[in-house]
Chains A and B, each alone.
Chain A
Amino acid sequence: MLGKIVGSMLVIVACGGGGILIGQQMRRRYDTLSEGRRAVQLLQAQIRTEGSSLPEALRETGEHCGGIYKEMFRELSSEMLLFRGEPVRSLWGEVAERHLTEPYLKEEDAAQFVLLGEQLGMTDRKMQETILERYLEYTDHELAELLTEMKDKTRLYRNLGFLFGTFVTILLL
């Protein structure tokens, strides 16, 4: 009997945990996109006010941001300074592909970041601003949607998880 009770508890906790995990994934995507937004804002400031070259601005931004962007920006900067003769878009794409692999990120998140890199540094100052703004608009939109979604669904996923666990337990008993 004790075995059944322990087993039932484990099933309920596991399913509830699964629900919580789905909620956590949303939270992590939110944090990563926020960090990306902050990083791009820093990059924008470096370019706009300091007039830094892109590799310089990326290195400097990498020093001041966190998460996956820290390492990614540093790597991009050093890869650029090697002048291997590869097009910017493929260099940016390769580095982004290596770093933006987290399962909680949507394909569109990585695609938007790659799109940003394809055009960054290739245009005049005005277009540059537009490209950066466009990426910031994307993150703003996604963050706003995520925030609403998190409010509505985090509790829902957790509760559904526990309920599903209870349901499985009843079936098993």
Chain B
Amino acid sequence: MKDKELFFRVFPKELREALMAVAPDFRKLQEIRLRACLPVLFTYDNEEWFLGQSGGQIRTGERAWMMTGEALKEILAFLSNYSVYAVEQDLRQGFLTMPGGHRVGVCGKLVRENGQPRSLREISSMNFRVAHSYPGCAGEVVGRLSLLTKPGNVLLVSPPGCGKTTMLRDIIRMLSEGGQTVGVVDERSEIAASYQGVRGQNLGPRTDVLDATPKVLGMQMLLRSMAPDYIAVDEIGGDEDVRELRNAMHSGCHLVVTCHGSDKAELLQKRNIGGMISDGCFQGIVYLSRRNGVGTIEGVERIAG
């Protein structure tokens, strides 16, 4: 089944048909936002549109397709393969991953039990972020940082939705095809888009993926068992993440990691990652934005080390 069909099959029939009609080129579809009792919004080819109530794309919310709570419930059932109970853990964290690595952010009412989150119910909104792979998009970064000839630690930085994960995925593929063994900790199944054990994205022939594994635990497992040249992790930030990254670095392993941020000044203000930058842990920092479309490379900072 094609990626496009796999993606759209989670929508109720009528909505599915309407969305497929307004996104003829699936590669240009970036995001779909569904909110109960509010119009359906989607981003196609870097432009935001409302879905018309009788189909088509419109500029304003009047006469737009209104989402119902019932339809959101159905989508959740389709997303979870009719098994909401089986995705409880992901739901508690506020997201689900679809086959193909597309991430679905979910909001609703958090049910707590003994102070701990138990599940999410009364789903009120969903944000579908469509994952695309653009083989070769990391060519400039890999070339400018000479990663294939001079391995080093790389940090990819951008605000959300600017293509960090796509860039990370392509760097992994290029490193792997270039002869490096890469270990990937894919906490949210977004990088490799593994579904039922099968990798949905090309990450190269020398890449090992720990799927749905917490970052810290995953890095420890990879270091112990897979002897990687590189460890790749998406969206680092916590104290424990950084501690484990330093540990990996001191074990002779190189890193390719991403984090949220927009410039170096902002990064340096962050206690964890800022500390790593100040300590000269990274040999390259790549800044991304969506100024000229998702994945615009704003700058590649090469740090001598």
Instruction: Enumerate chain A interface residues (CB-CB to B < 8 A).
Output: 47, 51-55, 57, 80, 83-88, 120-128
Contacts and interface: CB of A to CB of B under 8 A. Distances in A.
Contacts of A86: 12-13
The 7 closest A-B pairs by CB, nearest first: A85-B13, A124-B119, A121-B82, A83-B9, A53-B83, A54-B82, A125-B85
A122 B120 CA distance: 12
A34 to B, nearest CB: 26
Contacts of B16: 85
Interface string B1-32: 00000000111111010000000000000000
Q: Which of A47, A57, A80, A124 has the most CB of B within 10 A?
A: A124
Dominant secondary structure at the A interface: loop
Interface residues of B, number: 24
A63 B81 CA distance: 20
A120 B101 CA distance: 26
Contact of A121 (B10, B77, B111): B77
Nearest to A57: B83
Nearest to A92: B82
26 contacts: A47-B85, A51-B86, A52-B83, A53-B81, A53-B83, A53-B86, A54-B82, A55-B82, A83-B9, A83-B10, A85-B9, A85-B16, A85-B78, A86-B12, A120-B82, A121-B77, A121-B83, A122-B82, A123-B84, A123-B85, A123-B121, A124-B111, A124-B121, A125-B88, A126-B119, A127-B85
A127 B81 CA distance: 17
Contact of A53 (B74, B82, B111, B119): B82
Given A85-B11, A85-B12, A85-B16, A124 B85 contact: yes
Contact of A124 (B14, B73, B78, B118): B118
Contacts, number: 67
Centre residue among B74, B81, B83, B88 by max chain A CB count within 10 A = B83
Nearest to A120: B82
Given A85-B11, A123-B84, 11 more contacts: A52-B83, A53-B80, A53-B81, A53-B86, A54-B82, A55-B82, A55-B83, A80-B81, A83-B78, A85-B78, A125-B85
Contact of B82 (A85, A88, A127): A88
Contacts of B73: 122
Contact of A55 (B10, B81, B85): B81
Given A124-B121, A126-B118, A87 B12 contact: yes
A47 B73 CA distance: 20
Contacts of A53: 80-83, 86
